[in-house]
Amino acid sequence: MDLTVEGKAYIDGSFQDCCLGITDGKITAIKKILKGDKHITFSHKLILPAGIDIHVHFRDPGMTHKEDFSTGSLAAAFGGVSCYYDMPNTIPQTTDMLSLLDKINSSEKKSFVDFGIYSGISNRNIQNIAKIGEKCSGFKIYLGSTTNSLMLNSKNLRDVFKAANSTNKPILIHAEDDQCLINYKSDERNLTDHLKCRPSECEETAIKKILTSSKTSKNKIHICHLSSFEGLELLKDKQKNISCGVTPHHLLLNIEKNLSPKTWHKVNPPIRTDIDRAALFDGIQNGSIDVLESDHAPHTLDEKNIEFNDAPSGIPGVETLFPMFLYLAKKEKISFGRLISLFCENPAEIVNVPKGKLEIGKDADFIVIDYKDESKVKSEHLHSKCGWSPFEGWPAIFPTHVFVRGEKLIEEHEMLENQGFGRFVDKW
C-alpha cells in the first residue's frame, strides 16, 4: 500500500478507530491496524468523506472577473470539497461539443480538485443531446430565466427526456416556470419585491410539469435548489429516479430577517419565509431532501453594490457549505450521518462517481477536522475571487487536511498542490 491513514473515521454509519489503506488513489483496505509505505496518524481528529458539490458556477469562460476554475476550485478545496460540477450558463454557453471540450480542457489546466462539466439543454440543441451526452457529466435545464440563462420551453420536456434516455447521464433542472415569472415580473426595490416577483407558485408549476413529463425517463432527474414548502410537498412521493437539492441560503436565511446588504442576498430562486426555511430544514433531517448543494454563484462587490433592481442574482458558497454544516452537526442540529448522505454519498450516486464514502474501491477523497477547532466565516480568509460572503461571522469548522485520490492536497490549512491537479471525472 502506498499510504495508510489512522484515526477515527466515518465508516458504515459511525465513527470507528481504524486505518485506511490506499493504493493508486483508491481505498484498498480498512482494518484496525495497517502499515503502508507511508503512515499518517490523526490523533484526536475526525476523518470524513470529502464533499461533492454538484452545483457550482465558476464563471469560466467569459466571466472570469467574478471567478475562474483556479479560484473556484481553490475555494472548493479549502471548504472540504474534492469534486465539483460546473454549470453551463457561461459565455459562451456550454451547449455544443466545442464549448464543452474547451471548458474541460481549461479546467484540466486550472483546477485544484476533480470536476465534472454539465452541458445545457436549450430549445435549439435537443437533437444533439445523445452526441453531447458521450462527453458531458450531465445536463442542465433552465425552465425559468436567471443569470445568462439558457432557456427550455417546458413543452419540450418530453422530447428532452426521450432524447436523453440513451445517455445514462443525470439531468439537473432549475425549476421555476418562465411564463409564471413573466406574469409576476415588475420593478424590484428590495428582497420582498424579489420574492413577490418569483413566488413559490412558479416553483410549484415547474415541478408539476417535470413530474408529468418525466414518467418514462430512464435518467436520474435532479431538481436543483428547492426553495419552498409547496415544492417540497409535491416531491414527498417522487419517482425513484428523481432527487432534489437545497442550498445553505435557503436552509439558513429567511425574508423576515433583516438581511443586509440586500443585494448580497438577491438570488434565484429567492430567499423565502421562515415557514419555507423550516420545512426545508425538516426535509434534510427526515430524508425527503436528498442533496446539499452550494449553487455557488459569485458576483463582484461592484456588481452587487448597485441599485437593487439592477443587481445580479447569485450567492457564493462552495467554501462555506461543508464547514458551516459540520458546525451544525457538532451542535446536533443535524446528524453527521445525514450530512454525509446529503453532501457526499447521495451526490456521488447521482453523478455516478466513485467518491463520497470511506469504502474499499472508492477514491481516497477525505477530509480531517479538529472537532474543537471552531472559527468564524471571514471573507478575507476565503478564496473565491468575488471576496465576500452572506455568511460573514457565522460559526464553522474548516478542515485542517484535505486528501484527493490519496494525495494530501491541504495540510494544516495550507495548499500543497498546484493548479491542474484536478481531473475530469468522466475521462476515467
Span 43-57, average pLDDT: 97
d(CA 289, CA 312): 28
Confidence of residue 37 (pLDDT cuts 50, 70, 90): very high
Write the CB contacts of 219 (distance below 8 Å, at least 6 apart in sequence): 161, 164, 165, 167, 168, 169, 170, 171, 241
- Beta strand pairing call for 242-246 and 171-174: unpaired
pLDDT at residue 168 in the model: 94
Distant-in-sequence contacts of 98-101, Cβ < 8 A, 24+ apart: 100/132, 100/135, 100/136, 101/135
Q: Using a pLDDT cut of 70, give the percent of the chain over it.
A: 99
Residue-wise pLDDT tens digits, 293-331: 999 999 999 999 999 999 999 999 999 999 999 999 999
End position of a domain, from candidates 351, 376, 409: 351
178, 216: one domain: yes
Sheet holding 407-411, edge to edge: 26-31, 14-23, 3-11, 38-49, 366-369, 401-404, 407-411, 414-415
Same-domain pairing of 184 and 260:
yes
On whether both 96 and 245 belong to a single domain, the answer is yes
108-132 pLDDT, tens per residue? 999 999 999 999 999 999 999 999 9
Predicted confidence at residue 150, as pLDDT, reads 82
Instruction: Give the burial string for 397-411 (b: 16+ CB within 10 Å, else e).
Output: bbbbbbbbbbbbbbe
Sheet arrangement for strand 242-246: 51-56, 81-86, 114-121, 138-142, 171-174, 221-223, 242-246, 291-292
Residue 11 has pLDDT above 90, yes or no: yes
Question: How does pLDDT run across 232-247, given as a tens digit for each residue?
Answer: 999 998 999 999 999 9
Task: Tell me, yes or no, whether 244 lies in a domain.
Answer: yes
Going by C-beta distance under 8 Å and a sequence separation of 6 or more, which residues neighbour residue 60?
67, 68, 69, 72, 86, 90, 103, 106, 107, 110
The residue out of 351, 376, 405 marking a domain boundary is 351
Both 337 and 387 in one domain: the answer is no
Q: Are residues 169 and 38 in the same domain?
A: no
Only one residue has cell 420551453, namely 153
Both 78 and 34 in one domain: the answer is no
Write down how long the chain is: 428
pLDDT at 148: 55
The yes-or-no verdict on residue 369 having pLDDT over 70 is: yes
Averaged pLDDT of the chain: 96
pLDDT of residue 145: 78
For range 389-407, the mean pLDDT: 98
Residue 163 has pLDDT above 60, yes or no: yes
Query: What amino acid positions are annotated as catalytic residues?
Result: 295
Q: Is residue 412 part of a domain?
A: yes
Q: Which of 320, 351, 382 is the last residue of a domain?
A: 351
Q: Specify the residue for cell string 457550482.
A: 56
If pLDDT is split at 50, 70 and 90, which confidence band does 31 have? very high
Same domain, 194 and 293: yes
Split at pLDDT 50, 70, 90, the class of 147 is low
Is 356 among the domain residues? no
Same domain, 209 and 191: yes
Residue numbers of the domain that contains 422: 3-48+361-427
Residues 17 and 63 grouped into a single domain: no
Domain assignment present for residue 36? The answer is yes
Q: Is 90 exceeded by the pLDDT of residue 379?
A: yes
Measured distance CA(83)–CA(53) in Å, rounded = 6
For residues 402 and 420, state if they share a domain: yes
Domain count, the chain: 2
Domain contains 215: yes
Asked whether the predicted pLDDT for residue 146 surpasses 90, the reply is: no
Whether the pLDDT of residue 16 is over 70: the answer is yes
241 belongs to a structural domain: yes
- Residue 90 inside a domain? The answer is yes
Give the confidence band of 149 by pLDDT, cuts at 50, 70, 90.
low
Residues 33 and 61 in one domain: no
332 — pLDDT class (breaks 50, 70, 90): very high
Query: Does 72 reside within a domain?
Result: yes
Same domain, 408 and 299: no
Q: Enter the DSSP assignment of 417.
A: S
Query: For position 381, which CATH number holds?
Result: 2.30.40.10
| 271-297 pLDDT, tens digit each | 999 999 999 999 999 999 999 999 999
In our burial notation (b when 16+ CB lie closer than 10 A, e otherwise), range 194-230 reads bbebbbbbbbbbbbebbbebbeebebbbbbbbbbbbb
Q: What is the CATH number of the domain that holds 179?
A: 3.20.20.140
